[in-house]
Amino acid sequence: MYTSEQEEIALFAKVFGHPARVAILQQLFKIDACYCGDLSEEIGLAQPTISQHLKELKHLGLIKGNVEGTRVCYCIEPKNWTKMKKVLYQFLDQDIPKADCC
């Protein structure tokens, strides 16, 4: 029904389609590494909710979590972030017709 490219674009875009995940990622960029509980406090969502969003981001490979005792330190996974960017850029950067079409 859809090309694998279309599916991939949609999958990546979907994960950014909720402000909580955008906020999580912005926080990880800002402070470089962060614990689940800190994100929960910073963003204002319950811990299980943050955990759930982190799981989705991790599943797509955009972040990784490192266990440090009882806590888990999350951060951006640079390689996959770059790969994701390439996929989305190819879609977003399509040539726009100069003249109005209709």
Partner DNA sequence: ATTATTAATCGTAATATTGCAATTAAACAA
Partner DNA sequence: TTGTTTAATTGCAATATTACGATTAATAAT
Give the residues lining the site for DNA (CB under 7 A): 14, 17-18, 20, 35-38, 40, 45-49, 51-56, 65, 67, 69-72
Using CB under 8 A as the binding rule, whether residue 78 contacts a second copy is answered as: yes
Nearer of residues 31 and 82 to DNA, judged by Cβ = 31
Nearest alpha carbon to residue 12 among 91, 68, 72, 101:
91
Alpha-carbon dihedral sign for residues 72, 65, 28, 53: negative
With tokens 């949609």, the residue in question is: 10
Q: How far is the CB of 71 from a second copy (least distance, A)?
A: 10
9 belongs to the binding site for a second copy (CB under 8 A): yes
Site for a second copy in 57-76 (CB under 8 A): 64-66, 68, 73-76
